[in-house]
């Protein structure tokens, strides 16, 4: 549709592609430079500046080092658990649609409703567990902790939403899994340009949040309510090939994302009390680290529990067995989501597993019906669950007879192993039933025969399982062969028993568990070695003769362990010999087998020679046996350098090996029961011996009761005395001396020569091993480097050829008559030589490159290999005991005392996570962390306000105190977190390893409109006590002041308090420093203090002290999963005082002093300036104050006395007054007249002046006019003259 306005193709002008094209173009024109510019013009590339060179080198090295991660030991299991893909996004963004599309893409199956995790097989080596994450913050936090990959859906038409950023932050805190953004709703854009702009904008924002270049996927639009197939396919491809870096928390803790939950509580208990604590079993893939039985776990949203039982189950969504093909076929595309009702239905660990015929049988409802029957029978009856299980029957197939629990139970505790045989895809369980029958028929007395039979059966099983496409007749052949095998085994087993009779401790001396696993191999080996004995004419090789020799030796020595090992070794060598032959060529292999089989029954011979396929089976068998043996004697010297050639052959028969393992397991179980008494009898003997059955002694039944520790006393006493004797013994042991020294019970006599000789080789003076003997190594080197050609002289030095190489030569000449032993030795020699050369090359090659980093990496790699190899050969049952349940296993975990709400309010949409806890991570203490308020969180956080933390697996509410560390290491309490700074925080809560990240939210219920993550940080320290202090100022007042000493009161209440603070620094507000000296007798609490200056009575004295604060021991796990369905996001714990006040309408009574009042300003009144007299005197006259001060009262001495006049004097005075008044009046009048006169005169004078001026002006005017006329005249005449001239 957009074809018309498509742009024209633009050529690239830069970049590698353009350069390449340019080069090609030049070459076409014969102008191109064939050689490098560097070569052509070396001067241009010469070193210009050594400094710059050094700098650039430095920079490149820096960049290189920056790329390094600290190497860690790779502990990922061989068969990793499914990858947890969390699909996250705000509501209505298309999460469920995407999950549905992904599942459909991988499995061709459409799930309508998805609840809980869905596990699918996405490739040959990868499985995915897809789970949806809504925007409940509880769910977001939990899923971020278990996610391997997060698909972050973003509604492009809307843009980013807060949830996205919150989730990103949660991820960041809890280890940052891989994050892939997916833009949806892209079809809502009408204009292409707008779309492009939006894409770019979102992409860049996404990059800043995750990392530059993070993958952002675009789902352009919907077709029929689904995303486009091609886009989903591409997304699927991306997910399947993605690589992950291990996250610290996840790799150090076991965890399970449960995909199934069953309530195991006794129904009677529930009936009597519906609120009783429940016992539940949870199922899921184990991830992370190894899980130990009886360990502590935490269920986020529920609480802490101790695992009461763990068992591993067959994988419900197994990876395809063989991986030769490029892609999966339909049957291998499994999906498993029990919470959504998809996948097989499994009931209990020792009960029934019903398979609905894989993903394809899902539609057929008929097959599901029997399951319901079983469930019904379980529920309706009123008996215990065991009885119910026993009585309940299930029909696996419509035409087969019902299967009861007794059919299964009689196989003992190994049943789950057996159940693995039930092929999940094909549902072939037929052979299983046969096995049960046979088991029933054969009595307990001949256990070993029984095992053989079962083993044979399983062999058939496995074969058919492997080759699902094979025809039936092939299977028949297999079966026949297996039968024969069984018979043969039986015979051989008898032989072995004979052997055991000769050597009583043969079987016993080894520990039981190993024994059980070894059984199989031993049987075979014994078989072979005996075969060899039977037909000495067939194979005359050195090892054969060695066998004979060994046997004789064994007879002589009677040291059982020794003879056994020799025995094994010899048989092994034989095995190897045959193996090499079979490997070297097809015909030779046939030959070898044929020759060997002549000793056996003729029937087996026939089948072999007739059927090529059968032959293949046999060939499978042989490497297998050698492999078993190989595994058993891992350390035995004869096996060094075993066969890289064989390995590829071995790989093909892995499934075969598995079968063998299972069978050996059952045999082990039975054997253990069988000769228990005999073992007990020999316990003492064993202890005396140098190789006791240690495993049993330490961990076995012996551990529980000490009776068996001294078997002989028990044997002798018998009857009633048996009980009392051990108890006395036991008590003696309980309180005996606690000492680690290992005293020698029966010392050797070190004077005897032979005793001395027994440790001769422990010293450097003794004999060395073959591979370490200096002389031998020298000789080898000679052999290796003996041949060389001196290039200068041209001489050829030839090393001494030893007999082996001669043989090699002979072999080359005459290939027909190959002696197996010589060939083998030659081969070994050759391999050795190759290996040595390779080592040399490696050493030489790596010498220059080897850095500390490389060494470290190499070390880690070696450790990883060792970890993988160590328990590889053991069957799972034994393995889980040693290393715990390994990640990748599908396990069932039983937990007791779970709150009933967990079961009653179970919502499959919410993830159930079982997080394993390390040692003492279940304990509580004070946790210190570095915390920073999130920059997007609107408020600051207050000390002692309850807040919800997410640390480790947990979410819990606690009361933290914030502090900041002063320079002297003092941790000072803060009332609030700083705005933009890190601060410390301490709370009382679960102990979590240092370095673990955490986040804090104020509330997990959805009432907060803003960004919800309040703070993030990291745990720094764990302790059982805290050192946070707050400032406390004690104040006092002086009540007596001497020179520099004052008596201060009011600071303390008693002399004792003062005594505690003697010598403490005090200070006044004005800054005078001082020191507390000594308490005074009265008043109480007063003291003497000395200061650096004299105090005033008005001074306030204070002392700064630090008061330790206590943290409330409040730890409240968020139990969101216990809330009813639909209210799971409404958990609210303790409220802050602010929230409480708001809720109850309690107003805080404010301090009156802190209230604001209207400001009343007083009129400012200034005093007059007062200049001291001395200063006034000194001032210059002009600056002296001029205004005289008001005359004060005249002092008395200066005052004149009042004059009292006589009457006539008074008359005179009156007259004089009158006269003077008259006179003054006269004078006044005269003055006025004069004034008037003067005025008039002035006027006249002014007039005259004016006239005079006017006259002058006129005159001047006249004069200037005349002057001007004159000048003009002159000018005119001069102009005339000039004009005339010009004319």
Of residues 1086-1105, which lie at the interface with other proteins (CB under 8 A)? none
Using CB under 8 A as the binding rule, whether residue 1174 contacts other proteins is answered as no
The binder of other proteins chosen from 54, 223, 379, 694 (CB under 8 A): 694
Q: How far is the CB of 867 from other proteins (least distance, A)?
A: 5
Give the x/- contact pattern for other proteins in 1108-1147, rule: CB under 8 A: -------x-x------------------------------
Calpha distance 680→716 (Å, rounded): 13
8 A C-beta contact, residue 362 and residue 369: no
Among residue numbers 605 through 664, which ones bind other proteins (CB under 8 A)? 635
The binder of other proteins chosen from 230, 736, 793, 814 (CB under 8 A): 736
Q: How far is the CB of 212 from other proteins (least distance, A)?
A: 29
The residue among 296 and 663 lying less far from other proteins, judged by its C-beta, is: 296
Among residue numbers 300 through 319, which ones bind other proteins (CB under 8 A)? 303-304, 306
For helices 560-584 and 542-557, the axis angle rounded to 10 degrees is: 170
8 A C-beta contact, residue 948 and residue 1003: yes
Span near other proteins by CB under 8 A; candidates 9-17, 272-280, 753-761, 813-821 = 753-761
Span near other proteins by CB under 8 A; candidates 229-237, 464-472, 743-751, 1076-1084 = 743-751
Among residue numbers 1012 through 1071, which ones bind other proteins (CB under 8 A)? 1018-1025
Nearest to 379 by CA among 268, 276, 283: 268
SS3 1210: helix
Among residue numbers 394 through 423, which ones bind other proteins (CB under 8 A)? none
The residue among 33 and 965 lying less far from other proteins, judged by its C-beta, is: 965
The binder of other proteins chosen from 341, 918, 978, 1050 (CB under 8 A): 918
The binder of other proteins chosen from 882, 1042, 1107, 1264 (CB under 8 A): 882
Among residue numbers 146 through 185, which ones bind other proteins (CB under 8 A)? none
Give the x/- contact pattern for other proteins in 969-1008, rule: CB under 8 A: --------------------xxx-xxx-------------
Among residue numbers 251 through 270, which ones bind other proteins (CB under 8 A)? 252
Using CB under 8 A as the binding rule, whether residue 113 contacts other proteins is answered as no
Tokens of 776: 């031998």
Residues 6+ apart with CB under 8 A from 544: 532, 536, 574
Calpha distance 970→964 (Å, rounded): 8
Give the x/- contact pattern for other proteins in 73-112, rule: CB under 8 A: x-x-------------------------------------
Nearest to 672 by CA among 631, 710, 701, 713: 701
Alpha-carbon distance values, 54 to 43, 59, 60, 64, 66 (Å): 19, 8, 10, 15, 18
Beta-carbon count within 10 A of 706 CB: 16
The residue among 737 and 813 lying less far from other proteins, judged by its C-beta, is: 737
Tokens of 1183: 């600056």
Using CB under 8 A as the binding rule, whether residue 1226 contacts other proteins is answered as no
Q: How far is the CB of 289 from other proteins (least distance, A)?
A: 6
The residue among 164 and 573 lying less far from other proteins, judged by its C-beta, is: 573
Residues 6+ apart with CB under 8 A from 200: none
The binder of other proteins chosen from 250, 296, 543, 663 (CB under 8 A): 296
The binder of other proteins chosen from 42, 536, 549, 766 (CB under 8 A): 766
SS3 1284: helix
Calpha distance 626→578 (Å, rounded): 10
The residue among 775 and 1143 lying less far from other proteins, judged by its C-beta, is: 775
Query: Judged by CB under 8 A, how many residues of this single chain contact other proteins?
Result: 94
Q: Return contacts of 962-968, CB within 8 angstroms, 24+ apart.
A: 962/931, 963/1028
Using CB under 8 A as the binding rule, whether residue 776 contacts other proteins is answered as no
Calpha distance 422→354 (Å, rounded): 9
Q: How far is the CB of 988 from other proteins (least distance, A)?
A: 11
The binder of other proteins chosen from 363, 863, 1267, 1274 (CB under 8 A): 863
Using CB under 8 A as the binding rule, whether residue 759 contacts other proteins is answered as yes
Give the x/- contact pattern for other proteins in 226-255, rule: CB under 8 A: --------------------------x---
8 A C-beta contact, residue 663 and residue 520: yes
The residue among 488 and 515 lying less far from other proteins, judged by its C-beta, is: 515
Q: How far is the CB of 264 from other proteins (least distance, A)?
A: 20
Span near other proteins by CB under 8 A; candidates 171-179, 508-516, 840-848, 1146-1154 = 508-516
Calpha distance 898→278 (Å, rounded): 5
The residue among 209 and 921 lying less far from other proteins, judged by its C-beta, is: 921
8 A C-beta contact, residue 166 and residue 195: no
The binder of other proteins chosen from 412, 786, 799, 925 (CB under 8 A): 925
Q: Residue 456 is inside which H or E element, if any? A: helix 447-466
The residue among 14 and 1025 lying less far from other proteins, judged by its C-beta, is: 1025
Using CB under 8 A as the binding rule, whether residue 699 contacts other proteins is answered as yes
Q: Using CB atoms within 10 A of its CB, is residue 1279 exposed (0-12), middle (13-18) or buried (19+)?
A: exposed
Alpha-carbon distance values, 200 to 6, 183, 218, 232 (Å): 20, 11, 11, 21
Using CB under 8 A as the binding rule, whether residue 510 contacts other proteins is answered as yes
Beta-carbon count within 10 A of 539 CB: 18
Calpha distance 226→220 (Å, rounded): 11
The residue among 563 and 643 lying less far from other proteins, judged by its C-beta, is: 563
Q: How far is the CB of 1110 from other proteins (least distance, A)?
A: 14
Using CB under 8 A as the binding rule, whether residue 514 contacts other proteins is answered as yes
Tokens of 338: 């029990």
The binder of other proteins chosen from 740, 968, 1151, 1162 (CB under 8 A): 740
Using CB under 8 A as the binding rule, whether residue 1009 contacts other proteins is answered as no
Residue 260 pairs in a beta bridge with: 283
Span near other proteins by CB under 8 A; candidates 465-473, 509-517, 601-609, 1133-1141 = 509-517
The binder of other proteins chosen from 10, 501, 742, 1009 (CB under 8 A): 742
Using CB under 8 A as the binding rule, whether residue 724 contacts other proteins is answered as no
Phi, psi values for residue 676, rounded to 5°: -65, -45
CB environment 383-405: b (16+ within 10 A), e (fewer): eebeebbeebbbbbeeeeeebeb
Using CB under 8 A as the binding rule, whether residue 758 contacts other proteins is answered as yes
Residues 6+ apart with CB under 8 A from 352: 346, 374, 394, 403, 405, 408
Using CB under 8 A as the binding rule, whether residue 1011 contacts other proteins is answered as no
Using CB under 8 A as the binding rule, whether residue 69 contacts other proteins is answered as no
Nearest to 514 by CA among 650, 693, 291: 693
Calpha distance 863→885 (Å, rounded): 20
Nearest to 542 by CA among 260, 221, 825, 312: 825
The residue among 474 and 559 lying less far from other proteins, judged by its C-beta, is: 559
Span near other proteins by CB under 8 A; candidates 365-373, 407-415, 742-750, 1185-1193 = 742-750
Beta-carbon count within 10 A of 579 CB: 25
The residue among 618 and 947 lying less far from other proteins, judged by its C-beta, is: 947
Q: How far is the CB of 871 from other proteins (least distance, A)?
A: 8
Using CB under 8 A as the binding rule, whether residue 565 contacts other proteins is answered as yes
Is the bond into 1133 cis (omega within 30 degrees of 0)? no
């Amino acid at each position: 549709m957009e074809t018309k306005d498509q742009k024209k193709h633009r050529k690239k002008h830069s970049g590698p592609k353009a350069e390449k094209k340019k080069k090609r173009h030049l070459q076409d024109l014969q102008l191109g430079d064939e050689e490098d510019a560097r070569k052509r013009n070396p001067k241009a590339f010469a070193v210009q500046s050594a400094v710059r060179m050094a700098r650039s080198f430095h920079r490149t090295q820096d960049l290189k080092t920056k790329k390094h991660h600290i190497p860690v030991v790779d502990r990922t299991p061989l068969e990793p658990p499914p990858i947890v893909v969390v699909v996250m996004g705000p509501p209505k963004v298309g999460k469920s649609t995407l999950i549905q599309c992904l599942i459909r893409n991988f499995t061709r199956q459409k799930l309508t409703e998805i609840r809980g995790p869905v596990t699918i097989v996405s490739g040959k080596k990868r499985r995915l567990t897809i789970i949806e994450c809504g925007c409940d913050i509880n769910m977001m936090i939990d899923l971020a902790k278990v996610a391997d990959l997060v698909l972050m859906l973003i509604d492009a038409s809307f843009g980013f939403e807060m949830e996205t950023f919150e989730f990103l932050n949660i991820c960041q805190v809890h280890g940052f899994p891989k994050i892939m953004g997916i833009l949806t709703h892209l079809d809502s854009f009408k204009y292409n340009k707008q779309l492009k702009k939006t894409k770019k904008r979102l992409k860049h924002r996404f990059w800043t949040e995750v990392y530059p270049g993070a993958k952002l996927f675009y789902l352009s639009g919907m077709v029929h309510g689904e995303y486009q197939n091609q886009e989903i396919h591409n997304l699927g491809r991306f997910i399947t090939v993605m690589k992950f870096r291990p996250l610290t928390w996840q790799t150090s803790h076991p965890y399970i994302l449960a995909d199934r939950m069953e309530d195991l509580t006794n129904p009677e208990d529930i009936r009597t009390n519906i609120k009783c604590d429940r016992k539940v079993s949870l199922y899921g893939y184990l991830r992370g680290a190894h899980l130990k039985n009886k360990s502590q776990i935490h269920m986020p949203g529920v609480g802490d529990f101790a695992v009461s039982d763990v068992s591993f189950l067959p994988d419900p969504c197994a990876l395809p067995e063989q991986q030769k093909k490029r892609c999966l076929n339909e049957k291998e595309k499994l999906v498993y989501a029990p919470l959504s009702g998809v996948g097989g239905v499994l009931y209990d660990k020792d009960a029934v597993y019903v398979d609905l015929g894989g993903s394809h049988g899902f539609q057929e409802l008929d097959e599901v019906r029997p399951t319901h029957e079983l469930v019904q029978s379980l529920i309706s009856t009123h008996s215990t669950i065991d009885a119910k299980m026993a009585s309940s029957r299930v029909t696996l197939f419509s035409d087969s007879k019902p299967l009861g629990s007794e059919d299964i139970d009689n196989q003992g505790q190994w049943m789950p192993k057996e159940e693995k045989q039930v092929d999940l895809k094909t549902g072939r369980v037929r052979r299983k039933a046969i096995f049960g029958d046979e088991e029933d028929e054969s009595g307990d007395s001949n256990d070993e025969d029984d095992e053989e039979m079962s083993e044979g059966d399983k062999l058939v099983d496995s074969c058919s399982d492997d080759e699902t496409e094979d025809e039936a007749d092939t299977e028949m052949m297999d079966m026949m062969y297996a039968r024969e095998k069984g018979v043969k085994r039986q015979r051989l087993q008898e032989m072995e028993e004979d052997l055991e009779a000769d050597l009583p401790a043969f079987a016993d001396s080894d520990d039981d568990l190993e024994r059980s696993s070894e059984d199989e191999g031993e049987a075979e080996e014994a078989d072979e070695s005996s075969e060899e004995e039977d037909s000495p004419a067939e194979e005359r090789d050195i090892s054969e003769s060695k066998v004979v020799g060994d046997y004789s030796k064994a007879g002589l020595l009677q040291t059982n362990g020794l003879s056994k090992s020799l025995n094994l070794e010899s048989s092994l060598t034989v095995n190897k010999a045959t193996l090499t032959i079979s490997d070297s060529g097809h015909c030779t292999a046939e030959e070898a087998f044929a020759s060997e089989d002549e000793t056996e029954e003729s029937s087996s011979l026939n089948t072999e020679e007739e059927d090529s396929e059968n032959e293949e089976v046999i060939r499978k068998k042989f490497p297998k046996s050698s492999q078993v043996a190989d595994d058993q004697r891992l350390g035995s010297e004869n096996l060094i350098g075993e066969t890289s050639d064989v390995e590829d052959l071995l790989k093909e028969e892995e499934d075969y090996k598995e079968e063998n393992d299972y069978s050996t397991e059952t045999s082990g179980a039975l054997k253990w029961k069988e000769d228990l008494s005999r073992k007990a009898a020999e316990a003492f003997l064993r202890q005396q011996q140098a190789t006791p059955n240690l495993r049993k002694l330490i961990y076995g039944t012996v551990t529980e009761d000490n009776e068996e520790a001294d078997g002989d006393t028990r044997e002798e006493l018998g009857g009633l005395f048996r009980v009392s004797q051990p108890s006395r013994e036991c008590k003696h042991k309980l309180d005996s001396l606690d000492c680690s020294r290992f005293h020698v019970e029966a010392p050797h006599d070190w004077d005897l020569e032979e005793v001395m000789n027994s440790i001769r080789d422990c010293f450097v003076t003794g004999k060395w091993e073959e591979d370490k003997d200096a002389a031998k190594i020298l000789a080898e080197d000679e052999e290796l480097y003996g041949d060389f050609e001196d290039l200068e002289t041209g001489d050829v030095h030839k090393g001494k050829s030893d007999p082996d190489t001669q043989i090699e030569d002979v072999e080359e000449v005459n290939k027909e008559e190959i002696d197996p032993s010589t060939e083998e030795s030659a081969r070994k020699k050759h391999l050795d030589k190759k290996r040595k050369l390779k080592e040399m090359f490696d050493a030489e090659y790596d010498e220059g490159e080897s850095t500390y980093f490389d060494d470290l990496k190499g070390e880690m790699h070696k450790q990883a290999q060792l970890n993988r190899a160590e328990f590889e050969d053991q069957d799972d049952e034994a393995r889980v005991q040693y290393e715990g349940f390994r990640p990748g296993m599908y396990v069932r975990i039983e937990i007791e005392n779970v709150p009933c709400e967990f079961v009653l309010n179970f919502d499959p949409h919410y993830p159930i996570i079982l997080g394993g806890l390390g040692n003492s991570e279940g304990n509580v203490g004070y946790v210190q962390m570095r915390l920073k308020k999130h920059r997007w969180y609107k408020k600051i956080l207050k000390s002692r306000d309850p807040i919800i933390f997410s640390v480790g697996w947990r979410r819990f509410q606690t009361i933290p105190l914030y502090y900041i560390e002063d320079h002297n290491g003092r941790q000072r309490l803060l009332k609030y977190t700083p705005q933009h700074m890190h601060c410390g925080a301490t709370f009382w809560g679960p102990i979590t390893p240092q370095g673990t990240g955490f986040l804090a939210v104020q509330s997990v219920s959805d009432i907060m409109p803003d960004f919800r993550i309040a703070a993030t940080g990291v745990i720094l320290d764990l302790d059982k006590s805290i050192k946070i202090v707050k400032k406390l100022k004690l104040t006092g007042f002086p009540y007596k002041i001497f020179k520099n000493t004052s008596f201060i009161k009011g600071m303390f209440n008693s002399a004792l308090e003062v005594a505690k603070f003697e010598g403490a620094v005090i200070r006044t507000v004005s800054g005078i420093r001082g020191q507390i000296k000594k308490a005074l007798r009265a008043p109480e609490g007063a003291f003497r203090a000395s200061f650096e200056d004299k105090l005033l009575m008005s001074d306030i004295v204070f002392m700064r002290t630090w008061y330790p604060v206590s943290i409330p021991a409040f730890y409240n796990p968020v139990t969101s999963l216990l809330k009813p369905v639909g209210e799971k996001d409404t958990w609210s714990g303790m409220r802050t005082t602010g929230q409480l006040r708001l809720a109850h309408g309690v107003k805080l009574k404010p301090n009156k002093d802190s209230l604001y009042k209207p400001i009343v300003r007083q009129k400012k009144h200034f005093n007059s300036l007062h200049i001291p007299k001395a200063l006034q005197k000194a001032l210059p006259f002009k600056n002296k104050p001029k205004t005289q001060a008001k005359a004060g009262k005249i002092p008395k001495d200066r005052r004149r006395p009042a004059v009292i006049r006589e009457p006539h004097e008074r008359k005179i005075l009156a007259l004089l007054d009158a006269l003077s008044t008259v006179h003054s009046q006269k004078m006044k009048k005269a003055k006025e007249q004069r004034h008037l006169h003067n005025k008039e005169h002035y006027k006249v004078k002014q007039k005259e002046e004016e006239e005079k001026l006017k006259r002058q002006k006129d005159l001047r005017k006249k004069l200037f006019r005349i002057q001007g006329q004159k000048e003009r005249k002159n000018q005119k005449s001069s102009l005339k003259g000039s004009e005339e001239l010009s004319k």
